[in-house]
Amino acid sequence: MKKIVLGTALGATVGIALACLAKAAYERGYFDSVSDSMHNFAFKTKKKFKNAVDTGKNEIEYLQDKAEYEIGKHKRKRAGVASE
């Protein structure tokens, strides 16, 4: 029984201490800088991901155009051979 009461008292004390530390940090503006840093990180990550997706789309379009060109070139070559 003593361990339960001691654990409860210790948990309450640590909880109150952490709450006071969090309140002091909030009042000093520590969380604002963390929030700004996380916002900037999220913005940069989103931008880099969008750029990667756009690069991938451009590469696919390039490969598609190149394949169509090569297919057309071989079709013209075959048509030229068949007409001779």
Q: pLDDT of 5-45, one tens digit each?
A: 999 999 999 999 999 999 998 888 887 888 888 999 999 99
User: How many residues appear in the chain?
Assistant: 84
Residue 34 to residues 19, 31, 38, 59, Cα–Cα distance (Å):
18, 5, 6, 37
The tens digit of pLDDT for each residue in 45-60 reads 999 999 999 999 999 9
What are the structural domain ranges in the chain?
2-83
The CA distances from residue 15 to 12, 19, 21, 30, 57, in Å, are 5, 6, 10, 20, 52
pLDDT at 41: 94
Phi and psi based region of residue 78 (left: phi greater than 0; alpha: psi -120 to 50; beta: remaining): alpha
